[in-house]
Copies of this chain bind each other. A is one copy, B any other.
């Protein structure tokens, strides 16, 4: 028995050592590859953090099973409230409000290819004609300023985690603030348009529907509910993407050479309203339908992509696979942006907020002052995240306050600390409020002062 134990122990030690070597070699390779690719992309991009990001993700992925959270709504058992017990707030069964609302399993014939909708062809021409006929709905609202719709959302059900909805609320406030400053429209979705495409795939039918319903929208900006704006001053360099239709944070080498499943991020991306976009949505969707299709596709993705754990197909892995395997078809219109944090992995950012405040200022959008801090893996709304809940929520509060301070300073306030909900006055009020400028010039930012133009 003791020999067996020792044998088992030694065997585990050897396996662990092998795993560590594997990680080390991978990191070295990545270091060389990425350094080679980023020289010349500017001194200030998102290079050094990359390794940490990937390594951290790798470690977590290996150590935890990544499963889509169970959408089991706990019943809050209680005595029925009724009219004679009005103060029984904390203990009533919210699901009683939705009798008959039980979800049915989507019935999809796995032999029939999934379609997002009827094929739409010649969308560019149709859209162009519509824009000409509707000059009051221009697709550019200023010189080089496209009309943008920021799209996000969450489940129509209350979060399984009681504080989850509070964080969703803070998240949408954060997005409203950024969007107001930047002349961007907001669409908050709480409807599941296609039961087959539930979970992370739900964005595809939604995005398609919105593009087709809003020809005036030039760019659709999808943003996850767990992503926060942390640079209120940073304006996306729209002109950089004049020849591109899809912009995601990521690295070419990670996607095309390594086929790494985290080579890009689909939690925050820009999609131009055009035929190409409809086509790529159609090409992206087939791995999404819940059940057998998604499960089988998941196995393909784990096999085909680097370091991907075993779980059902997700939209991000599917996009990596799509681009890597059909580069010649899509690649030239896809911009993998790493010069600023269109998506910024929270793990490598949140401990540096104080350092950023000390050494930098808003407007960079990159590792100095990230545009977006994205709490991947935290899942504040669900029951099963990849990180300890207290750590996630604490850091989400800090990131929220970090961004919120930039809004509050317009009005002469800031949070007492990055950890505090409370605010304090930092600029005295005056009898001549218009003579006082806020430090960041965000009260009337240049990128919001727009003129209507019908140029396309």
Contact = CB atoms under 8 A, between A and B. Distances in A.
A94 to B, nearest CB: 6
A90 interface: yes
Interface in A218-277: none
A391 B96 CA distance: 11
B214 A443 contact: yes
A451 interface: yes
Interface in A340-396: 382-391, 393-394
A85 B387 CA distance: 10
A44 interface: no
Given A163-B94, A169-B165, A434 B215 contact: yes
A62 to B, nearest CB: 15
B87 A384 contact: yes
A54 interface: no
Please report whether the interface of chain A is mostly helix, strand, loop or mixed according to DSSP.
Answer: loop
A394 B97 contact: yes
Given A101-B422, A422-B101, A180 B172 contact: no
Contact of A101 (B172, B192, B419): B419
A276 to B, nearest CB: 17
Interface in A388-443: 388-391, 393-394, 397, 404, 408, 410-413, 416-417, 419-423, 429-434, 443
B160 A188 contact: no
B90 A126 contact: no
A326 interface: no
A137 interface: yes
Interface string A126-151: 11001000101100000000000000
A214 B170 CA distance: 23
A164 to B, nearest CB: 8
A333 B118 CA distance: 55
A74 B209 CA distance: 43
**Chain copies in the assembly?**
2
B96 A191 contact: no
A119 interface: yes
A382 B417 CA distance: 26
Best-buried of A92, A382, A385, A433 by chain B (most CB within 10 Å): A433
A160 B417 CA distance: 23
B161 A192 contact: no
A185 interface: yes
Interface stretch (A18-26, A35-43, A76-84, A306-314): A76-84
Interface of A: 74, 76, 81-83, 85-90, 92, 94, 96-101, 103, 117-121, 126-127, 130, 134, 136-137, 154, 156-163, 165-166, 168-170, 172-173, 176-177, 180, 185-188, 190-193, 209-210, 212-216, 382-391, 393-394, 397, 404, 408, 410-413, 416-417, 419-423, 429-434, 443-444, 449-452
Given A159-B166, A190-B404, A212-B433, 15 more contacts: A86-B389, A89-B382, A90-B160, A97-B390, A100-B419, A103-B422, A119-B431, A156-B421, A165-B165, A191-B404, A191-B423, A193-B411, A209-B411, A212-B434, A214-B443
